[in-house]
Every structure is written in C-alpha cells, then in structure tokens.
Amino acid sequence: MKTSDIIASVGVIILLIAFLLNLFNKLSTDSKAYKLMNFIGAATCGYSSYLISFYPFVILEAIWSIVALISLFRVPRGTSV
C-alpha cells in the first residue's frame, strides 16, 4: 500500500466516523467535534489526492475543507461574541 493510500484511508475513516456518529445521534452537526472531523478528514483526503495528482478531487476536498473550517469558527446569528 502506498503512502497516499494510507493517508486517504485515514481521511475517509475520519469522515465516516463523523457521519456515523451523527447518524446515530451521538454527535450533532453543530458540534465543534463534528466540524473539526470534517475539516481534518477532507483536508487529509485532499492532500492524498494531491499526492497522486488527481486534481478534481483536490478541488472538491479543498472546498469541503474550507467550508468546514469556516463553519468551525462561525458565530451563530443572534449570539454575542
């Protein structure tokens, strides 16, 4: 197994764990942990795609990572900082 395969597998596992925890009501999509797992998983998958020069997936995962990162630091409306 190549390094890029291992990195991709770790990223996918993180994303699937977040998905399953949410599916079974163990982790809310609004929780910091869920958002962080999405960011780390997507960034990891994006990096592994970069290593194998599969750029459509790099773009997909980069956007996913950016959105997850923004949501991680976004303050919900109606709350004060």
3-state secondary structure string across the chain: CCHHHHHHHHHHHHHHHHHHHHHCCCCCCCCHHHHHHHHHHHHHHHHHHHHCCCHHHHHHHHHHHHHHHHHHHCCCCCCCC
The predicted model gives 28-57 an average pLDDT of 97
pLDDT at 80 over 70: no
pTM over 0.85: yes
Residues 35, 19: contact at Cβ < 8 Å?
no
pLDDT at 81 over 60: no
> 76 — alpha (psi -120 to 50), left (phi > 0) or beta?
beta
The predicted model gives 25-29 an average pLDDT of 96
Confidence band for 60, pLDDT divided at 50, 70 and 90: very high
